[in-house]
Structure 1
Amino acid sequence: MNTIGLTILVRMGNCLCARETIEINGNKYYIRDSIGEGGFSTVVLVESATSHKLYALKRITCHAQTDEKVALSEVEFHKALCHPNIVECIDSDLVGVPDLVGNKTSQVLILLPYFPRGTLHDELIRRQETNTPLEETTVLTTFRGICEATLCMHSAKPHPLAHRDIKTANVLLKEDFTPVLMDLGSTARARVEVNGSSDARKLQDEAAEKSSMAYRAPELFNVEAFCHIDERTDVWSLGCLLYALCFYKSPFEAVYERGDSVALAVVSGNIKVPDSHPYSKDVIELIESLLKVNPEERPYVDWIVNSVDQLINKSAGAV
């Protein structure tokens, strides 16, 4: 679900599916609207038949047992990651049995909260249209919440996890602007030992499928045959996201929109900061510290959280 992100959770529109219903563990829901689709998954807006509360329902179609395993791992990641800045899986279910010969599929159903305010991506588009940048304190507090979610993933036991697709379209906003990281379909073990060209191709293909180009770390574009990948792939994405919080889009979005080589732009590491902007030198330096082409030069997320705390205190006049 790399492209639909759950942008989701904003569109109610007209009822496209009248009284079509779906059951999750015996609980009935009315399908209110089709929100989006991508790959083998769709997202629909549903209403509880009993409470009439609205939810977002992600449906992942599985053609084989291997597909089921991947889809169910997303549910397991939700169970393992309980944090106020990570979207909650309210319920889940597996329906049907995949059968390639009989052309039958199963579906993994993931019930998620509904966020009327939508995504950070939506918010930044609205602000770009009116040229209304976020205040620096809002940038920092919002970014801190996303970093806290990322830190939860990187601190997971028994092994650290990486989101691998952190971007503005994968951050939902509560009514009070609290950020909530979503879409764990790209999540994987953070630390990977690449031993040979076969391992490198596999990881590169996975990144191409699940990690958005404008936020993808340089080391995932051209994976070396013998190397170590760790959670700092997410740190690069966080740098792109912090840039977007300030300037509406990832620093590589324009390259993508022009149809030029994003990989070349990313690997070059040339980040252009607009000449005129309302942000402090400290914020710009923080962006630059995260967007280091060499992952060994990037900090870990706990350092980022501490640095952001210092900047928040500084902007509030505490230091």
Structure 2
Amino acid sequence: MEEKASSSGGVFGRVLGLCSALLEWVQRLGMLMFAPRHKLDGGMVVLRGGKVGEGGFSYVFGGVEAGSWRRVVLKQVRIDEPEQYASAMREVEAHRRFDHPNLMPLLDFSASRSVALMVFPMCSRSLRQVIDAKVVEGGDAWVPEEFSRLFDGTCRGAKAIHASGLAHRDIKPENVLIDDGRAVLMDFGSMAEAKVELSSRRDALVLQDEASVRSTMSYRAPELWEPEAPAFLDTAKADVWALGCLLWAMAYGYSPFEADFPTGGKRPRVVECSHLRVLVTPAAPPKDAIGTRHEPDFFLRVQRASRALLVVDPNTRPDIDRALQLSVSLKEWGAHADPEA
């Protein structure tokens, strides 16, 4: 009787496998016949799938590489004027400068007078999605080892950018993807030279306008809200501020400057971000906040590390090396705190 059941189960499994293979073949045939096809300058041919996101001047699509059927992401940037073309080319060149496990690689690209196309590897999810699941929606709580590993990887990606004399200028959970458990920093469209000399009020206003467009408000450092001149700014320090916000968001759901906890509440509440708000030291969240309640000692250290990076004066704010020291300390504590380590 048991042998018969086992035999039936084996046949059923083979039938399911054949059906799955047939379905995949039909899907591939459908893409080959009907999906928009893009040939990139490096020779890659991408079959475009559905839209998965969009920005001010760009759309992001899922897709596959023809032949290998590798899943990829296709970023399509609309070009209406020369500055948009130059901006797209700067983004391409920024990707070409790096070969680092915590920075998103560019697989191929092409550009015309009306559109630029960039192809990237497909990652499983974003840090924002993980935060939403664990903290905002109250799912499985963070494991300290996973938490500290993702933050450490993000810091290492930022370190590689800073070592080249550049600053990312828009570090946030939406711009950190997760690939096989590894944090990958993406979206180099806001990247620029780290050192900025502001010799006039005009220079300060230009930087302010750039930041208002390219740097997300709730992760934007104080010196980018209303820059003063004359001054010499190292905007790599603005990335460190953003890392402090990101660390807080990983633990408590959002940047400390876009959310708070109502009295007696365990879930974060979104509030309006403003320049004045970023100048105020964030209030301590409750110890039993959703997402952190199972490891209060670890997340107290996280809170302290975040505050250490959120120094209003960029001249006294830590640099990326100090941020890495804090991330390593959290990794060591996380490995100790994790019962499965």
TM-score w.r.t. the length of structure 2 is 0.79
Does the 8 Å CA contact 1:269/1:293 hold for their aligned counterparts?
no
Task: Give 1:312 shift.
Answer: 2.6
Does the 8 Å CA contact 1:195/1:225 hold for their aligned counterparts?
yes
Matched, 1:297 2:304: no
> What amino acid is the match of 1:163?
H
Task: Give 1:259 shift.
Answer: 5.9
Matched, 1:170 2:175: yes
Closer, same or farther: CA 50–224 of 1 in aligned 2, 3 Å: same
**Structure 1 residues 71-86: aligned runs within 5 Å:** 71-86=88-103
Does the 8 Å CA contact 2:104/2:120 hold for their aligned counterparts?
yes
Aligned to 1:46: 63
Aligned to 1:149: 157
Post-superposition Cα deviations, 1:246-287, rounded to whole Å, max 9, x if no partner, equal 1122112227x8663422110223343334343434322211
Report the structure number with the largest CA radius of gyration.
2
Aligned to 1:215: 219
Matched, 1:21 2:50: no
Does the 8 Å CA contact 2:258/2:272 hold for their aligned counterparts?
no
Does the 8 Å CA contact 2:257/2:273 hold for their aligned counterparts?
no
Aligned to 2:246: 241
Post-superposition Cα deviations, 1:164-188, rounded to whole Å, max 9, x if no partner, equal 110001000113x211000000101
**Structure 1 residues 195-206: aligned runs within 5 Å:** 195-206=199-210
Aligned residues: 290
Distance in 2 separating the partners of 1:240 and 1:154: 18
Aligned to 2:78: 61
> What amino acid is the match of 2:99?
C
Selected match of 1:94 from 111, 122, 137: 111
Selected match of 2:126 from 119, 124, 128: 119
Aligned to 1:270: 282
Aligned to 1:108: 116
Aligned to 1:5: none
State the identity %. 33
Post-superposition Cα deviations, 1:34-68, rounded to whole Å, max 9, x if no partner, equal 12222111111122222222110111111222221
Task: Give 1:153 shift.
Answer: 0.5
Aligned to 1:312: 331
Aligned to 2:21: none
Gaps of 5+ in 1: 1-14, 98-105
Aligned to 1:192: 196
Distance in 2 separating the partners of 1:165 and 1:186: 6
Post-superposition Cα deviations, 1:63-85, rounded to whole Å, max 9, x if no partner, equal 22222111100000001122100
Closer, same or farther: CA 194–47 of 1 in aligned 2, 3 Å: same
Does the 8 Å CA contact 2:72/2:119 hold for their aligned counterparts?
yes
Does the 8 Å CA contact 1:133/1:247 hold for their aligned counterparts?
no
Q: Which region of structure 1 is more displaced relative to structure 2, 307-316 or 224-233?
A: 307-316
> What amino acid is the match of 1:134?
W
Q: Which region of structure 1 is more displaced relative to structure 2, 270-279 or 79-88?
A: 270-279
Alignment root-mean-square deviation, CA: 2.3
SS in 2 for 1:126: helix
Closer, same or farther: CA 261–71 of 1 in aligned 2, 3 Å: same
Aligned to 2:4: none
> What amino acid is the match of 1:37?
E
Q: Which region of structure 1 is more displaced relative to structure 2, 39-48 or 234-243?
A: 39-48
Task: Give 1:292 shift.
Answer: 1.0
Distance in 1 separating the partners of 2:54 and 2:201: 33
SS in 1 for 2:255: coil
Aligned to 1:287: 306
Distance in 1 separating the partners of 2:328 and 2:259: 31
Does the 8 Å CA contact 2:256/2:282 hold for their aligned counterparts?
no
Does the 8 Å CA contact 2:155/2:327 hold for their aligned counterparts?
no
Matched, 1:232 2:251: no
Does the 8 Å CA contact 1:18/1:32 hold for their aligned counterparts?
no
Q: Which region of structure 1 is more displaced relative to structure 2, 202-211 or 220-229?
A: 220-229
Distance in 2 separating the partners of 1:91 and 1:173: 20
> What amino acid is the match of 1:238?
L
Closer, same or farther: CA 269–54 of 1 in aligned 2, 3 Å: same
Aligned to 2:17: none
Closer, same or farther: CA 147–222 of 1 in aligned 2, 3 Å: same
TM-score w.r.t. the length of structure 1 is 0.84
